Amino acid sequence: MKSLRYLGLLFILLSAMEKYGQAGVLSDKTKNLFGLFGNKPPSTDKPPSSSDEPCYCSCGVRNGESRIVGGQTTSVNEFPWIARLSYLNKFYCGGTLINDRYVLTAAHCVKGFMWFMIKVTFGEHDRCTEKGPETRYVVRIMTGDFSFLNFNNDIALLRLNERVPLGDTIRPICLPLMLNNEYVGTNAIVSGWGTLQENGKPSCLLQEVEVPVMSLQACRNTSYSPRMISDNMLCAGYREGKKDSCQGDSGGPLIAEREDKKYELIGIVSWGDGCARKNKPGVYTRVTRYMDWILKNSRDGCFCEHN
């Protein structure tokens, strides 16, 4: 079941590889897809050193007025932390900027892929235009103990080749302040360029939808079996379906508004059985479970104040 949303990503990548394989760039799409060409960056035991540069920015500031989201196109640059991942110049996943050097995404979006062929784009609203927003390339991928068998630990850090200039149109999300917050009942927002309906085509314009966070127990009482939902996961959606993330939204942010009106990243789009199906909510990686790992491996980036 949980493979259904991933199959959309697989189809996009295989299409891109078939196109570029004819030009001799990739001749074996299966081997390249699953990283059998030794596509991992050189390993190092040296952790990133802390950034000494001051960061004069504020995280989690949404552009424009807050509004109730029922599944619609966002305002331009409404969510300045959103990132679009491309592989062989083909859009396939989302991500979230957490400081001027690092992006959080889902492990299933990057594990086994050739890291040097992943492009990350910021400050974008319409991905189908010819405009050239800010673009960076991945120089290192960090994942934990992730498996495609159960999608547990579906989280990855991407280190960019250059720092991203921060301003009104490109700004990091805040990371969670309260690690014991379960967010149950919170109306969270998920955004991305994914398909507008199951098995549809990815959207050109950035979309947003509001979904309520469920308790783990409630999620384990849905059509998903209890063993499918680990403590590292977070479920959000309506029992009747109708509103959900979908194919192409993988790796993107699930955010919640804090009391100070800033937004923090609480989830990463991970998996689901189809899209917006009854009694089958979207499943996200629970960010609070990985805060030590995130901060340890991204500390050479410059975090905004009050992150």
Query: Which residues are catalytic, by number?
Result: 108, 154, 250
Both tokens of 78, joined, read 């409404």
CA-closest candidate to residue 88, choices 15, 143, 37: 15
Report the number of secondary-structure helices (H) and strands (E) in the chain.
Answer: 4, 13
CA distance 7 to 249: 13
| First CA to last CA distance, the chain | 36
Write the single-letter amino acid at 91.
F
CA distance 94 to 292: 22
CA distance 100 to 291: 17
Specify whether the CB–CB gap between 132 and 86 falls below 8 A: no
